[in-house]
Amino acid sequence: MGTTHRSTLRRIAAIAAGMIATDPAKAAAAAATFPAPEADTKILRVLDSTGDTVLELKPETDTSEAATKARAEAEALFSRLKGEGRSAFTFPEKGAKGEGRRIDSLKDAQAETIIIPRVVGG
């Protein structure tokens, strides 16, 4: 997946979330509503019929009980969704070198990972 495709996906998600606005006041409000994640935090997005669920995963260096529990729950969710036939794609940080790629383990996740439903042809 190239950078253009990734930026298109981000733009579509931002439009859907109401984050892109031509009015500077609305843009500032959207930025405050959807703050950037902390450094080294990974984002896991699960797309389904209810919308877009976002989970923030703290880095492995965060050994707090809450962060450890959240990582374990994310691993279990990832495994369950992959078992249902969903696909997962991961992307590096914006501006970083590298392209998006399909992954089979959450351990291979980069800055942002998107899990999509199984695509069924007709």
Strand, helix or coil for residue 107: helix
**What is the structure's pLDDT at 32?**
55
Residues with Cβ within 8 Å of residue 102, at least 6 apart in sequence: 87, 88, 89
Q: Which of 1-15, 31-45, 68-82, 83-97 has the lowest mean pLDDT?
A: 1-15
| pTM assigned to the model | 0.64
Q: What is the mean pLDDT of residues 30-44?
A: 66
E-state strands within 8-111: 42-48, 51-57, 87-91, 101-103
For the segment 45-82, what is each residue's pLDDT rounded down to a tens digit?
A: 999 888 888 988 888 888 899 889 988 999 999 999 99
How many whole angstroms separate alpha carbon 6 and alpha carbon 23?
25
Q: pLDDT per residue over 86-107, tens digit each? A: 999 999 887 788 888 999 999 8
Give the chain's domains with CATH numbers: 1-35 (no CATH), 37-122 (3.10.20)
